[in-house]
Structure 1
Amino acid sequence: MPARRSIAQHASKTSKTSKIPPALQSARGVKTWKEAADWLKIRGIEDIECITPDIAGVPRGKMMPSSKFTSNTSLALPSAIYRHTISGEYPEETGNFRYDSRDSDIKLVPDLSTLSVVPWETDPTAQVICDIAGSKGENVPYTPRNVLKHVLDLYQQKGWKPVVAPEIEFYLVAKNEDPDYPLHPPKGRSGRAIQGGQGYSIAGVNEFDELIDDIYHFSEKQGLEIDTLIHEEGPAQLEINLRHGDPIELADQVFMFKRTIREAALKHGIYATFMAKPMQAQAGSAMHIHQSVIEVNTGRNLFSNADGSASKEFFSFIGGMQKYVPKALSMMAPYVNSYRRLTPDMSAPVNNAWGYDNRTTAFRVPVSEPVARRVENRLPSSDANPYLALAASLGCGYLGILEALEPSAPSDDTVNDGTIDLPRGLLEAVSLLESEPAFAQVFSPEFIAIYAGVKRGEFETFMQVISPWEREFLLLNV
């Protein structure tokens, strides 16, 4: 896919004689409020969406005329939006989970480097991702973007900078208006529903050519860069790989890609879902995260020594992943459904093992040159909030380096069958998150308390639903 294109062609339509400054030609991002105003004017933008990810990674925010956006307007949201469940309910206060007694305002602070158009809107519309600050500008430690920024600050204090590359799997499914009925793959251009077992099939991708063209088109308009796109094992299951880069920028891209893919699918009368396990007996959807760390002053890959061998920091990073990721799993597998993916013999790891080019392990070391030595975390599911999944994965690796942990021996054999060496459900995973003292420094006590309270609330709403399994096996047998 081409990198961010110039808008000179668009400009020639609006003014044949005008010349657009280079700073305003990018499809994504400006540096100053003056540039933002000019960027919006050149494109004839009428409205702007100021959005931020909530705990689930759902876009929340406000929409306004572009003239109001550039007039130094103060934007605020109630703090309660970070304390409700995915179903929109507010859990009871339990443990350390508490509500702000005043439900005070928090401020939306636009990050102008994320400014882009909203290509699926009929009226000229732009969007910008916002950080969250307190009403007086103070830090709010429990919001997802701030959680990730805090982890990156810990690396920066050591003179390090993480580099990541996410891979996002998702399913295309036929429209399903009644949640009591199972999901099914949609019909492709052949008129037939695509079947499973189509891993890396070009014909499988071609079944949805027009939809994929729209995904590329929408992405290009927003300055989002796709590295590769493939068909995965499940029926109408696709995967998008993103180019490696800064964790905040890549989390922003995943945040926007999810929205983009859903909108492109709706345009074609189908759904795109990032559920971890949308269809029974089919492979789940993961968000694999490739990670490395560079020294800021030298640009050297911290995972490689000068002679090309693996460094002690590389092994300690893996050791940290092995020790701490199972305790932070609720940030990478955030729903009851997430744990349906983490089952034996279903192309997903069920362990905390690592190995060289071994896809059955939780932590895989791909074949690479020393400059590109990295660790792939294969545990996160695609339903995870990308900011929190990246924060958890990098935070665990950071603790490993800090504590000079030693990993186990690498696994050469298949290790994703048999016993499960991870938390088996959401409540167990949440309890492990709360019980680890080291996480208070890495993720903040405020975040852990809110996240645990929300997840317990979601579990309680899940428990109110009677499943088909219960009706099938309990109705007449007990």
Structure 2
Amino acid sequence: MNADWLEKAPQAARDYLAERRLDEVECIVADIAGVARGKAMPASKFMRQDKFYLPNSIFLQTITGEWAENPAGAFTEPDMILTPDYSTAAAAPWTADWTMQVIHDAHDQQGNPVPIAPRNVLKRIVKLYEEKGWKPVVAPEMEFFLVARNTDPNQPIIPPMGRTGRRAAAKQAYSMSAVDEYGKVIDDIYDFAESQGFEIDGILQEGGAGQVEINLAHGDPVALADEMFYFKRLIREAALRHDCFATFMAKPIEGEPGSAMHIHHSVVDRETGQNIFSDAEGRETEAFMHFIGGMQRHLPAAIALLAPYVNSYRRYVPDFAAPINLEWGRDNRTTGLRVPISGAEARRVENRLAGMDCNPYLGIAASLACGYLGLTEKKDPRAEYKGDAYMSQGELPYNLGDALDLMTASQAMRDILGDEFVDLFVAVKRNEYNEFLQVISPWEREHLLLNV
């Protein structure tokens, strides 16, 4: 029985339901793509049970709705036991009735965490840090596009119509008037976020037409991945209220920049609360350099988690504000690994390689995993890159197939993420990649049909 579950919920959830009758609870988990899967049930039923069941095959479903072959063997679809994490209870303020969402933890029937569940993968990495006496801290940035409704996939995506009656303009980075063009959507994003108890650190116009960036305050990796999981739905719902779409595709519009999920990382000593990237005099430590070194060595094998679709690699092109290298530099946005200006207590590393299309649990897990390997291997990075690193290329895979090959062959990724998860992730992504390769594009029809 969990009739008193709201007492365990965050204050924002309790405030949202103050003097109101809860109608429905959505019991959800994130699949490999970061899509919410689960069940909606009347609140009265939710109060009478403390778990429910879903088949573990939900993690074999591809983004197209197909099913990958189970690398573990027979496709028997055993049930997982899903238990609510009441700390994740959050309003769904766009619904017609009073609805709450609750993220659930996935365990097998023996009570073990399901190793292929993305949230559990991230928890696995955080636990490795904890066992060393460390506490990882992250601050994600979310970029996305607001676009005109697109109901015909054969038609290109175009910017939305702004309040002036004009299409949103490109090349207006940091423009307040550009944000005002779709201010009603932004207003609803703020309102929905407030109802859910989420703290937005800032909203700004990015370089693309209708491209927006939302910054989140730094904090616990799992809690922030939960927020990003919720935010994607929140933002989509806010856009739909105003006759446009919000898309988190890495590269939705030809000729425009892509959308990144930059991740800032620091690591704190659990006993002292001090940032291990700075010493007592405020200088950079060996641990700081080792963290960067680990990212340089291991990110190529983790890129499939940061860039999980064929479209993801369209973002990795020169001169479109996306780094295509593993160089590091202080306050250098052309490097894949940037050290922002900060005080010693906030010294951090920004991974600029992740796309906004990645599953936030897996993207943050992959990035932290590479840093952890660096901390434990204790190898220094290359020298700081002080020029235009956009010209530095060749270390990253530039298509999904090559990225999956690197991940499959990496013993370090298998050891830290788990063989079972790596095999399943690769199976799902191979299925998607092979399906894509069967599609004939407009470019091929235009240039090859009558010319070759």
Do both share a fold (TM > 0.5)? yes
Cα shift at 1:294: 0.0
- Residue in structure 2 matched with residue 88 of structure 1 by the alignment: 65
The code of the aligned residue for 1:253 comes to: E
Shift of 1:388: 0.3
Among 11, 20, 26, the alignment partner of 1:26 is 11
The aligned amino acid for 2:56 is: S
Instruction: Check if 1:56 corresponds to 2:33.
Output: yes
Q: 2:368 aligns with which of 394, 413, 419?
A: 394
- Give the aligned partner of residue 405 of structure 1: 379
Q: Which residue of 43, 47, 69 maps to 2:46?
A: 69
Instruction: Quote the Cα distance in structure 1 between the aligned partners of 2:7 and 2:81.
Output: 31
Q: Note closer, same or farther for the CA distance 1:285–1:113 as it changes in structure 2 (3 Å cut).
A: same
- Structure 2 residue corresponding to 1:192, chosen from 166, 175, 183: 166
Task: Tell whether 2:181 aligns with 1:207.
Answer: yes
Residue of structure 2 aligned with 1:327, choices 288, 301, 311: 301
Who is 1:309 aligned against? 283
User: Do structure 1's residue 239 and structure 2's residue 216 form an aligned pair?
Assistant: no
Tell me the matched-pair count: 447
Q: C-alpha displacement at 1:302, in angstroms?
A: 0.6
Task: Give SS of 2:12's match.
Answer: coil
C-alpha offsets along residues 102-145 of structure 1, whole Å, 9 cap, x if unaligned? 21001211110011211000111111011111123222111100
The secondary structure found in structure 1 opposite 2:408 is helix
Check conservation: 1:79, 1:100, Cα contact below 8 A: no
Deviation string 1:309-359 (CA, Å, 9 cap, x unpaired) is 101000000000000011100000000000000111111011110000000
Match of 2:314 among 340, 352, 358: 340
Q: Following TM superposition, by how much is the alpha carbon of 1:99 offset from its aligned partner in structure 2, in angstroms? A: 4.8
| 1:56-96 Cα distance to aligned partner (Å, 9 max, x none) | 00000000011111112531111111011100101345xxx
How far apart are the structure 2 equivalents of 1:207 and 1:155?
44
SS of equivalent to 1:401: helix
Aligned pair partner of 1:432 in 406, 409, 412: 406
Q: What residue number does 2:201 align with?
A: 227
Correspondence for 1:35: none
**Partner Cα separation in structure 1 for residue 394 and residue 256 of structure 2:** 19
- Which amino acid in structure 2 is aligned with residue 68 of structure 1? K
Contact 2:298–2:370 (Cα < 8 Å) also in 1? yes
Contact in 1 for aligned 2:9/2:87 (Cα 8 Å): no
Aligned partners of 1:107, 1:63: CA distance in 2, in Å?
16
1:181-229 CA distance string (max 9 Å, x none) = 1000011110100111010000000011111110000110011111100
The answer to whether the Cα contact below 8 Å between 1:80 and 1:99 also exists between their aligned partners in 2 is no
Task: Name the SS of the counterpart of 2:338 in structure 1.
Answer: strand
Aligned equivalent of 2:3: none
Give the SS at the match of 1:416.
helix
Indicate the SS of the match to 2:262.
strand
- Counterpart Cα distance in 2 of 1:247 and 1:145: 10
Gaps of 5+ in 1: 1-20, 31-38
2:23 alignment partner in structure 1: 46
1:101-140 to structure 2, matched below 5 A, reads: 101-140=75-114
Q: How does 1:419-458 map to 2 (within 5 A)?
A: 419-458=393-432
Residue in 2 that maps onto 1:153? 127
2: distance between equivalents of 1:455 and 1:25? 36
1:359-391, Cα deviation, whole Å (9 max, x unpaired): 000000001110000000000000000000000
- Normalised by the length of structure 2, the TM-score is 0.96
Cα 1:100/1:82, change in 2 over 3 Å: farther
Q: Distance in 2 between matches of 1:29 and 1:160?
A: 32
CA contact (8 A) 1:78 1:105 kept: yes
> Any conservation in 1 of the 2:267–2:276 contact (CA below 8 Å)?
yes
What do residues 144-179 of structure 1 show as CA deviations (whole Å, max 9, x unaligned)? 000000000000000000000000000000001110
Residue identity matched to 2:391:
D
CA distance in 1 between counterparts of 2:291 and 2:20 reads 45
TM-score (norm 1): 0.91
Q: Which amino acid aligns with 1:77?
A: L
Tell me how far apart the structure 2 counterparts of residues 43 and 298 of structure 1 sit (CA, whole Å): 43
Cα distance, 1:25 vs. partner?
7.6
Match of 1:17 in 2: none
| Alignment map for 1:258-297 (pairs within 5 Å) | 258-297=232-271
| 3-state DSSP of counterpart to 2:49 | coil
Counterpart residue type for residue 276 of structure 1: A
1:121 is paired with a residue whose SS is coil
Structure 2: 5+ residue stretches without partners: 1-5
Q: Which amino acid aligns with 1:124?
A: W
